[in-house]
Structure 1
Amino acid sequence: MPASCKKLINNVEQCVDENLEGLVAVNPGLQLLEGLRVVVRTDVGPNVVGAGKVSLLSGGGSGHEPAHAGYVGPGMLTAAVAGSVFASPPPYSILAGIKAVSAPGSVGCMVFIANYTGDRLNFGLAVERARHQGLRVGVVVIGEDCALATTDKTAGRRGLTGALMVMKICGALSDEGKSLEEIVKVAKDAASKMGTIGLSLTPCSIPGSGPSFQIADDEMELGLGVHGEAGVKRTKLVSAKEAVKMMVDHMTNPSNCTHLPVKKGDRVACMINNLGGTSMLELNIIAKEAIELLESRGVVVERAYCGTYITSLEMAGISITLLHLDDTLRRCLDAPTSAPAWPRPLLPPGAVTRQTPVRMPRETIQAQVTKSGPKMASVGSAEAGLIYDCLKLAGERLVAAESQLNELDRESGDGDCGSTMARGSQGILASLGSKENPNLPISCPGELALTLASAAEDTMGGSSGGLYSLFFTAASTCLQTTVSPNTYCEALNAGIQTMMKYGGAEPGDRTMLDPLHSASQAWSAALSSQSPMEAFRLAVEAAEKSAEETAKMKAQAGRASYVSADHLKNPDPGARAVALWMRAVLEALSA
């Protein structure tokens, strides 16, 4: 079965109903009309909705969640009617929804219709029947799609994400007590001032069916509809920046008969929408590119929204909606609502318009640090030269071992241990300078340890970077006042203890901790009876032996602990890396 056809449902026939049941179970401020796919606010009644406020109703086919039922709530819709997947709801359900929110004495019901043939027919029929029965019903048909590029007769511009903005604006107007006529007028005005363009990377699949269309892995389609309707063109996959430019250029192109005019100085709201299968990481990148592009053209982006608002099941893709703002529309977009799916961007306190923030300078953080650290002990030029040699050789050995360590890591992880160690080593080597004029504080081991901690954190990343940063940070404390073979050994042990405290691993768990612990024990035991060099040599040999013995250990920490022991036949790559740099330090000291 293709991945796109896999669904976590109980059965195809009940998936829409169970979806709605789940929504109201999570949001008990919503309820279902018995026997119908109609979601209504629980505060609907003659004392609330019928008392001087216009009620709002919308709906459409399922598969576009969170639309439309996710926008039912105070400050937005009063009710939403769901059809089957990608199918308009039947007129009798829509009429039942209108009646449910039209209490005796109601000032009227506003109905939003997305511009699709089925929705226009079914919602239109329900509205006419409601009016025939004496109910006051206003209507706005929303079609803001900017994909159409020809003047040939078609079903018209499709109603897309922009419809949600219109609903939000009208929800605020209703709460303000505006009349049905006033709300209809503003709704039509807002609908005429917006445009949406979509871009799809993959198809979706209706429950029980295969993919809705076919598209190559290296292709994307501009202007595709939320039901899989063909777009205006297919292109090869491009970067986020290029994709956004393509979309905005098409949306605003004057030669496009459905374009949205956008010029320098215009004030707009921008909504970046996930069509279903796009990650938040990608969406935020798209939002960044869209705002930067608009601002580079002199457009003032007063409001920006980014998230999942109206989808096409699991389709990977996005849509961008622009709405020309005035003070009324912006105020209504900002008005409070507790509808579950409506976004709430965080603005600075007291801000009226959105502005892209400048980066906070690091000096601001540094200026807040008033306490200076202790003065560190230093060493002579000869010993500083040895430290330089140790750093240089250890870094070079780890860079040379990148492939070897990556190969070991593929057995238990994602195969990047060597690259991580090499990246950190290259960063240190690049900033090392010359022995005569070093850029690192090699004459002050305690300060050097803190510098290495920062380097590990900044350039290595991941758990290895965090562990080495902890190790060097803790080690620096032991080197503050004195520097000797004994304090170096104490620093090693302090680093080990801190790694155990925060990393969760213990000796014997098949990690980089094993050779470090073995070296610490051997070094500490030998210092009382051997020369410093001999003691350190014994420590290095103990580390190398322990690193090789990890091949026989059961992994109980790190990613390897999730891998079957049958697949772990070689030494742990992190442990091997420790043995490599310790051997390099010994050779540099012995040269």
Structure 2
Amino acid sequence: MLTAVVAGLVFTSPAVGSILTAIRTVKQAGAVGTLLIVKNYTGDRLNFGLALEQAQTEGISVQMVIIGDDTAFATKKKAGRRGLCGTVLIHKMAGALAEAGVGLNEIVHRISAVLGAMGTLGISLSPCSVPGSRPTFQLADDELELGLGIHGEAGVHRMRMASADQIVNLMLDHMTNPSNASRVHLRPGSSVVLVVNNLGGLSYLELNIVAGSAVHCLESRGIHIARTFVGSFMTALEMAGVSLTLLLVDEELLTLLDSDTTAVAWPKPIRMSVTGHKRQRAVPKENPKEEGPDPARVPTSPHMRLVLECVCSKMLSLQEQLNELDRAAGDGDCGNTHAQAAIAIQNWLDARPLPERPYQLFSSLATLLLEKMGGSSGALYGLFLTAAAQSLRTDDDLAAWSLAVDAGINAMMLYGGAAPGDRTMLDSLCAAAKELKALKKPKANLMQVLDKAVQEAEAAAESTKNMEAAAGRASYISSARLEQPDPGAVAAAAILRAVLEGLQAKPE
């Protein structure tokens, strides 16, 4: 099925360096091409996309497909459909095509054609908890959450407890509703593969009760179930829930799903029916070389080390606050991710002298965060610093710093897909950037301009609590549940505040 898997921390996309290592290792093993199969989450798109771009510059043939099989939302989302358990079927079919010697371009073409014929919906009796953190949402003992994500995100509808038959009927109604923009287009006579997936905390008894209800409900609607897979394919830690995946299939796709595999956990399909109708048989990243100091330029200010120390201290102090804000909109690890970055920067500061020039400092920090921070935040900060560094390469006067901030924001918008007003860290950064344009004026006062920029960033971060999320994981949560500011916006504003405080302090 898969040649390599790249894992990040719990519910966090892997770092770019780890992904690149996997791509290079597969290449060294003799692969003529590499397909990245990526679930549609911002952090995964960013980190795998950055790794793809880097690998292609090294002459490696790499392509990527983004999987979005979520059927929870009635309207189209700017961020697209989330990648859920249907991704596992893509793994199996793509692996079978590769094993048969099909070329990379053809695999991408054939897999892409399948994506619109697949849908997944989950329901749960409980949330889940990242180790060391509290649950991401709360449910009463008699409640169920419909349409939730695989990282502990809350769903789109809360309902009272019901029987397995009632729950499955409701799920299938939601998945096939004509008013649902992400529905599966089922018609009587359609042939489907059904996946009944344990989200983590169900017993096999409960799982198979749901499977029986799903088979009964589908057959009663005139749907032919060509294959049924029941098991733990894509879990969410201890979440006591289940997801249903439907894939419209023909004989060609069934052949791929039935092909032999050495993957030890891949089950044989179950031939279930309540009507008695007979079923068919079924290399590590190298550290960039630091350029030597340019004697014709002024070295990096002695304040830079103090600024970075202030930023690290601020992120560590806000760890639990950011986690708490993130629990309302995601998996509750925003503070952990920023704290992890802070510790990496502290270790980096202890291990070596600072680079001489601002653009070298930004480039080095970008590499560090892309490797050590992980998640969408690591990728976004890496993009910002990389783009900003290029603007500072030829000049680093006050006007250049304003241009560098603009360049960093533009890179984040290009690859991250968000914009000001989408309830992300961009709201804080763009508010600050407007004030920083004053640095282009003759005799601009850096501290006064930066102080005003920080105030505007903090105000913008606070205002995100009144915004409708349109990007990132928060975009899948009902706006009625988003009562607190966006954690990314709060973190970005706090970093700017720490920069100001570091510049105001006197270095020893």
CA offset at residue 355 of structure 1? 5.5
* Higher relative contact order (CA closer than 8 Å, sequence separation 6+): 2
1:217 has 2:137 as partner? no
| Offset, 1:357 | 7.1
What is the letter of the counterpart of residue 202 of structure 2?
Answer: T
Superposition deviation, residue 149 in structure 1: 1.4
Partner of residue 260, structure 1: 184
Distance between the aligned counterparts of 2:120 and 2:65, measured in 1?
Answer: 17
Distance 1:104 1:310 in 2: 28
Change (3 A) 1:357 1:341: farther
| Residue 53 of structure 2 is aligned to residue 128 of structure 1 | yes
Tell me by how many angstroms 1:249 deviates.
Answer: 0.4
1:295 aligns with 2:219: yes
Equivalent residue pairs, number:
278
Contact 2:35-2:104 within 8 A present in 1 as well: yes
**8 Å Cα contact 1:270/1:323 also seen in 2:** yes
> What is the distance in 2 between the residues matched to 1:172 and 1:106?
15
Q: Quick check: 1:92 aligned with 2:17?
A: yes
Superposed displacement of residue 105, structure 1: 5.6
* Alpha-carbon distance between aligned partners in 2 of 1:255 and 1:282, rounded to the nearest angstrom: 31
Deviations 1:232-272 (A, max 9, x none): 11000110000000100000001011111101111110000
For 2:97 and 2:181, the matched residues in 1 are separated by 31
Q: For 1:168-183, list aligned pairs within 5 A.
A: 168-183=92-107
Map 1:303-318 onto structure 2 (within 5 A).
303-318=227-242
- Give the Å deviation of 1:305: 0.6
Determine if the alignment matches structure 1 residue 325 to structure 2 residue 249: yes
Structure 2 counterpart of 1:207: 131
Determine the structure 1 residue equivalent to 2:474: none
| Structure 1 unpaired stretches of 5+ | 1-75, 348-353, 361-591
Give the AA of the match of 1:327: E
Partners of 1:203 and 1:234 in 2: how far apart?
12
Residue matched to 1:197: 121
Equivalent residue of 1:198, what SS? Answer: strand
Q: Which has the larger radius of gyration?
A: 1
Q: TM-score if structure 1 supplies the norm length? A: 0.46
Q: 1:515 matched to which residue of 2?
A: none
2:272 is equivalent to residue 343 of structure 1 = no
Query: How far apart are the structure 1 equivalents of 2:196 and 2:254?
Result: 17
Q: Give the corresponding residue for 1:186.
A: 110
Corresponding residue for residue 28 of structure 2: 103
Residues 176-197 of structure 1, C-alpha deviation per residue, up to 9 Å, x if partnerless?
1111011111111122210000
2:79 to 155, 165, 180: 155
Task: Measure, in 1, the Cα distance between the counterparts of 2:277 and 2:69.
Answer: 35
User: Distance in 2 between the 1:220 and 1:106 partners?
Assistant: 46
Q: Is the 8 A contact 2:35 2:63 kept in 1?
A: yes
Question: Quick one: which amino acid aligns to residue 160 of structure 2?
Answer: K
For 1:80, what is the secondary structure of its paired residue? coil
Secondary structure at the aligned position of 1:83 is classed as: coil
Asked whether the equivalents of residues 302 and 355 of structure 1 are also in contact (C-alpha less than 8 Å), the reply is no
Counterparts in 2 of 1:356 and 1:103: CA distance versus 1, 3 Å? farther
8 Å CA contact 1:163–1:191 kept in 2: the answer is no
| Alpha-carbon offset, residue 154 of structure 1 | 3.6
Distance 1:217 1:341 in 2: 33
- TM alignment of 1:551-566, pairs within 5 A: none
In structure 1, the partner of 2:42 is: 117
Match of 2:403 in 1: none
Residues 1:145 and 2:58 are matched in the alignment: no
Pairwise CA distance, 1:140 = 0.6
Check 1:101–1:283 CA distance in 2 against 1; reply closer, same or farther (3 A cut).
Answer: same
- Write the distance in 2 (CA, Å) between the matches of 1:103 and 1:186: 26
Instruction: Give 1:340 deviation, angstroms.
Output: 2.5
Task: Determine the structure 1 residue equivalent to 2:205.
Answer: 281
Letter in 2 for 1:178: V
1: distance between equivalents of 2:30 and 2:204? 45
Tell me: CA distance 1:109–1:216, structure 2 relative to 1, closer, same or farther (3 Å).
same
- Runs of at least 5 residues in structure 2 that lack an aligned partner in the other structure: 279-508
Per-residue deviation at 1:103? 2.7
Q: What is the CA–CA distance in structure 1 between the aligned matches of 2:135 and 2:269, rounded to whole Å?
A: 34
Instruction: State the match for 1:548 in structure 2.
Output: none
In the superposition, relative to structure 1, how do residues 133 and 202 fare at CA in structure 2: closer, same or farther (>3 Å)?
same
**Following TM superposition, where does structure 1 have runs of at least 4 consecutive aligned residues deviating by more than 3 angstroms?**
354-360
Residues 270, 301 of structure 1: 8 Å contact kept? yes
CA contact (8 A) 1:88 1:122 kept: yes
In the alignment, what sits opposite 1:230? 154
Deviation string, structure 1 residues 412-465 (Cα, Å, up to 9, x no partner): xxxxxxxxxxxxxxxxxxxxxxxxxxxxxxxxxxxxxxxxxxxxxxxxxxxxxx
1:40 alignment counterpart: none
Identity of counterpart residues, as a percentage?
A: 52
Say if 1:271 and 1:221 are closer, same or farther in 2 by CA, change over 3 A: same
1:538 aligns with none
- Structure 1 distance, partners of 2:221, 2:179, is 19
Of residues 215-224 and 98-107 in structure 1, the stretch that sits farther from structure 2 once superposed is 98-107
Q: Is the 8 A contact 2:228 2:270 kept in 1?
A: no
Kept in 1: contact 2:119–2:246 (CA 8 A): yes
Q: Which residue of structure 1 aligns with residue 343 of structure 2?
A: none
| Distance of 2:4 and 2:29 partners within structure 1 | 17
Q: How does 1:483-562 map to 2 (within 5 A)?
A: none
How far, CA to CA, are the matches of 2:182 and 2:19 in structure 1? 30
